[in-house]
Amino acid sequence: MLSPVLPGLYIDGQWRAGGEQLTVINPSTEERLAIVSGGDAQAVNEAVQAAQRAFGAWSKTTGAARAVILRTIARAVAARRERLMTLQSSNSGKPGFEAAIDVDDVIATFDYYADLAEASDGQQNQTVGLPSEDFSARLRREPCGIVGLIVPWNFPMVTTAWKLAPALAAGCCVLLKPSEVTPLAELELARIIADSGLPTGVFNVVCGTGQQVGAPVSGHPGIAKVSFTGSNAVGVQVMQRGAETVKGVSLELGGKSALLVMDDADLDLAVELASGGGYFNAGQMCSATNRVLVAQELLEPFLQRIVAKAQSIKVAGPLDDAAEMGPLINQAQYQRVLNHIEAGKAAGAQLLCGGGRPAALPRGYFLEPAVFSQVPLDSALWRDEIFGPVLCVRGFSSEAEAIALANDSQFGLVASVVSGNAETADRVANALQAGMVWINAPQVIFAQTAWGGYKQSSVGRELGPWGMQAFQEIKHVVRAI
C-alpha cells in the first residue's frame, strides 16, 4: 500500500517536506513503494546554515563525548536491525542475507569510529620533534568544518556509515544527501541518528536528485569538504564544482576489478570467489571482480564449473527465503546491462549462460547470472563497468601476462588472487594496481582496513584512520622557547 509522502528533509532538528516528490520503486515488483519529498538549493543552504550554527560547540566536544553518541547510534541500529533490513530489501531487492551484511557493517563502522574518537583525545597536541632547541611544536587534528556526503543506491546505508561515522567522530557537522533511488532505509537510519543525542544542526539530511541537491552541495561555499560515492561521470562534476571554492573532495567511484586464478588454485574455491565477486548484490558493486583471469590449463574446467554455479543460483525477490540473487535496481539499470550484453555479443564475445530474464519471473528487474568467454580486450564488455551480474572469463599463459591483463584498466579499486602458494599469491598481490587485494578470500571488508583504489577508482581512502583523517585539518603550533 502506498504510504503518504515521507518527509525527506531533516534540517536544524526538524523533519519537513520539500517541494519535489520522488517516487520510490520496489525493483522486485516494479510497484511504487513510497513517495519521498526532496529538497533543492534553498534547502541545502538552510542545512548548511544550521550546520554552521552548530559547528562551534560541536567541534569543541571531546572525542570521548562524540564516542558516546556514535555508540548510541550503533546500539539503536542493532535494535532496529530487522526494520532496516526489511526497508533495504524492499527498496533495493537485496536478499535477506545481503541486507543483514549491510546493517551489521553499519554497526561495526559506528563502533569502530567511536573507538577512534575516544582514542583521539589522548593523541591531541602531540609533541613534534624539531631539529632545534629554540622552538617546540605540537600537532592538532581539527574537524575540517561542514561536510557534504553524497551517496549512491547500491549500498546506501553502508556508504553513508563509512562517511558519516568518521565525519562525526572528527567533529564535523554534516549534510547527507541519500540517493533518490534508495532513500527508505537511509531515512530510517537518519531517524535513528536524529534521536541519538546529537546537538541540533550537527546532522542534516536533504533528499533529492543530483541536479536539485547534489550539485548545490558540491558548489556550496559554506561546505569545506564533499565526500562522494557514485559514478565516474558524476564524480568528475563534483570535483569540477568543488574546485570553484577549492573544496576538499574525496571520491569513491567505479571499478573493473580482476580475479586471478593461478595454476595452483583450488578450483572449487576459485568458482565460489568468482561467483561471490561477480554476482553479490546482482553484480551492482564498485568492487565487482567481473574480469576473471584463469591459468590456461585450468580454463576449461573452470568454465564448466562457473557456468554450472551461475545456473544454480536462485534468482528471486527478498520475500523468497531461498533467494541468492535479487533484481537490478531499476528499469534504466536493467536496460543498461542488457545493452552491454548485446554489445558484447555483437563484438564477438561468447555468452555461455544467463543474461536474460528468468522464465519464472515475468515482473521485476531480474536477470540470470551471465558468463562470457572470448571477450575482446578492446570491447566495452571487458573495459567498462557493467554494474550487473556478468562475468567475463579469459585465460592467461604466464603470471606476467595475468598481472598485465589485470592492470590494463582505467580503474584500480580491488583485486582477488586464488593460489595454493602463499609466495605466488603475495608476489601477485604486490604487483596489482588496486587499493584492496584479497587472497583466497571473499570480499570481506573490515572497518580497520582502508577502502579506495588506484587510478580513476578513487581520490583518497575511506575506513580505518584514513577515513577520519579525510575529515580533519592538520595544525602545527610552533612556539619560541
* Cα 35 to Cα 184: distance, rounded to the nearest angstrom: 10
Half-sphere exposure for 362 (CA within 13 Å, toward CB) = 0
Q: Which stretch binds ligand NAD (CB under 6 A): 34-42, 87-95, 223-231, 388-396?
A: 223-231
Q: Does 88 bind ligand NAD (CB under 6 A)?
A: no
Residue 33, all three cell numbers = 513503494
Strand order in the sheet with 414-418: 350-353, 370-373, 390-396, 291-295, 258-261, 414-418, 436-439
Q: Does 253 bind ligand NAD (CB under 6 A)?
A: yes
Describe the crossing of helices 63-79 and 183-194 by its angle, rounded to 10 degrees.
130
Question: Which residue in 385, 386, 425, 434 binds ligand NAD (CB under 6 A)?
Answer: 385
Q: How many C-beta neighbours within 10 Å does residue 122 have?
A: 10
Q: Does 174 bind ligand NAD (CB under 6 A)?
A: no
Question: Which residue in 95, 183, 201, 230 binds ligand NAD (CB under 6 A)?
Answer: 230
Q: Which stretch binds ligand NAD (CB under 6 A): 198-206, 224-232, 358-366, 369-377?
A: 224-232
Answer whether 159's CB lies under 8 Å from 229's CB. Answer: yes
Interactions with ligand NAD, residue window 265-324 (CB under 6 A): 286
Q: Does 256 bind ligand NAD (CB under 6 A)?
A: no
Q: Which stretch binds ligand NAD (CB under 6 A): 124-132, 138-146, 173-181, 306-314?
A: 173-181
Torsion angle, alpha carbons of 96, 102, 104, 109, to 10: 180
Answer whether 232's CB lies under 8 Å from 253's CB. Answer: yes
Q: How far is CA 67 from CA 12, 120, 121, 241, in A?
A: 22, 10, 11, 33
Interactions with ligand NAD, residue window 180-219 (CB under 6 A): 180, 209-211, 214-215, 218
Question: Which residue in 72, 159, 250, 379 binds ligand NAD (CB under 6 A)?
Answer: 159
Q: Of 92, 88, 235, which is closest to residue 151 (Cα–Cα)? A: 235
CA 212 to chain centre: 22
Answer whether 435's CB lies under 8 Å from 449's CB. Answer: no
* Cα 209 to Cα 180: distance, rounded to the nearest angstrom: 6
Residue 14: CB minimum distance to ligand NAD, A: 22
Helix (H) and strand (E) counts in the chain: 15, 22
Active site residue 286: yes
150 has which bridge partners? 177, 228
Q: Does 242 bind ligand NAD (CB under 6 A)?
A: no
Choose the catalytic residue: 144, 207, 286, 353. 286
Interactions with ligand NAD, residue window 118-147 (CB under 6 A): none
Residue 333: CB minimum distance to ligand NAD, A: 8
Residue 219: CB minimum distance to ligand NAD, A: 9
Question: Which residue in 58, 110, 155, 280 binds ligand NAD (CB under 6 A)?
Answer: 155
Residue 269: CB minimum distance to ligand NAD, A: 25
Q: Which is nearer to ligand NAD, 95 or 230 (CB)?
A: 230
Q: Does 229 bind ligand NAD (CB under 6 A)?
A: yes
Q: Which is nearer to ligand NAD, 226 or 299 (CB)?
A: 226
Residue 234: CB minimum distance to ligand NAD, A: 3
Residue 471: CB minimum distance to ligand NAD, A: 17
Torsion angle, alpha carbons of 429, 431, 436, 439, to 10: -10
Gyration radius from the chain CA atoms: 23
Q: Which is nearer to ligand NAD, 114 or 288 (CB)?
A: 288
The site for ligand NAD, by CB under 6 A, has a size of: 32
Cβ-proximal residues to 364 (8 Å cutoff; 6+ apart), any chain: 27, 28, 29, 30, 93, 317, 327
Residue 460: CB minimum distance to ligand NAD, A: 11
Residue 226: CB minimum distance to ligand NAD, A: 8
Answer whether 163's CB lies under 8 Å from 152's CB. Answer: no
CA 354 to chain centre: 26
Q: What is the per-residue binding string for ligand NAD in 429-468, x denoting contact by CB under 6 A?
A: ----------------------------xx----------
Active site residue 207: no
Beta strands in 45-134 (DSSP E): 126-127
Residues near ligand NAD (CB under 6 A): 150-155, 159, 177, 179-180, 209-211, 214-215, 218, 229-231, 234, 237-238, 252-255, 286, 385, 387, 413, 457-458
* Residues with catalytic roles: 252, 286
